[in-house]
Amino acid sequence: MTSIGLQHYLLLAAALFCLGILTMTLKRNAIGILIGVELILNAANLNLVAFTRYRTGAIDGQIVAVFIILLAAAEAAIAIAIFMNFYNSLATIDVDRADQLQG
């Protein structure tokens, strides 16, 4: 057994990032896309925390991670409010139905 090191965290984060991208591209449901976004944000957080622990030693990376968690919450709040507004007029949150504006 090798010990868990920086690259393991980075690989995990990269995997999360890829999953997030996949989720965003494959899901047609707005909430699904939002979940993909959260996955990527968490990948970023994992990166930051791991880098701080193994590479830089300074605290600023972890502070950034905390702020990103906060931002993710704020973004989700606004996004869900907007989804509900959309749902109120269309009774769906399928993004493919957002097709009024084109050209």
Min separation Cβ 2 and other proteins, Å:
21
Which 37-96 positions form the footprint of other proteins (CB under 8 A)? 37, 40-41, 43-45, 47-48, 50-51, 55-56, 58, 60-61, 63-64, 67-68, 71, 74-75, 78-79, 81-83, 85-86, 88-90, 95
d(CA 82, CA 13): 29
Q: The tokens of 94 are what?
A: 């399928």
Residues that bind other proteins (CB under 8 A): 10, 13, 17, 20, 24, 30, 33-34, 36-37, 40-41, 43-45, 47-48, 50-51, 55-56, 58, 60-61, 63-64, 67-68, 71, 74-75, 78-79, 81-83, 85-86, 88-90, 95, 98, 100-103
